[in-house]
Amino acid sequence: MKLLLTPAVEAAIREHARAEYPHECCGALLGREEGALRVIQQIIRLANERADERERRFYVSPQQVLMAERHARETGLLLLGFYHSHPDHPAAPSEYDREHALPYYSYPIVSVVQGVPTELRSWRLREDRTGFDEESVVPVPEG
């Protein structure tokens, strides 16, 4: 599976991560599927509703997920995943991420080092929920 990001979408994810540092940011990915390709056309910034440990954890309420699904439907897109940041940590999923993820969705993570977004990698949870497999992140031109 490949995740295709337009420059505007990738820039929006990175800007969200930068703006929320030193806390984790989170958001929804909307787009379309074309065979083994997921084309992300827009994001929705979501609130990190976690009350504590916001530097290492995020929480998205079911109400926010329903709002993202509703917006996707209204715009003719699919909810394809959720992104978040890892302040001062690698762009790899944690055990906490695995415990709270669902199969099917893409989970891009952007590492933010001293306030600067760096590496962006994406992951898919295996159907048996034992771990993640990395999916390619491919930048694509606008259009």
Q: What is the pLDDT of residue 139?
A: 79
Q: pTM for this structure?
A: 0.94
CB 97 within 8 A of CB 107: yes
Q: What is the pLDDT of residue 78?
A: 98
Question: Which two structure tokens, joined as six digits, stand for 81?
Answer: 């995943």
Question: In the chain, where are the structural domains located?
Answer: 2-134
CATH number 3.40.50.300 given to 2-134: no
Q: What is the pLDDT of residue 1?
A: 85
Phi and psi at residue 21, to the nearest 5°? -55, 135
- Classify strands 78-87 and 37-46 as parallel, antiparallel or unpaired: unpaired
User: Tens digits of per-residue pLDDT, 59-88?
Assistant: 999 999 999 999 999 999 999 999 999 999
Average pLDDT for 91-105: 95
User: Tens digits of per-residue pLDDT, 115-130?
Assistant: 999 999 999 999 999 9
Q: How many CA atoms lie within 13 A of 41 on its CB side?
A: 13
Which residues contact residue 102 at a Cβ distance below 8 angstroms, ignoring those fewer than 6 apart?
A: 125
CA distance 88 to 109: 12
Judge whether residue 47 has pLDDT over 80: yes
Judge whether residue 31 has pLDDT over 80: yes
CA distance 108 to 27: 10
Average pLDDT for 79-100: 96
Three-state secondary structure call for residue 96? helix
- Model confidence at 140, in pLDDT bands (50, 70, 90)? confident
Average pLDDT for 4-26: 96
Q: What is the pLDDT of residue 143?
A: 55
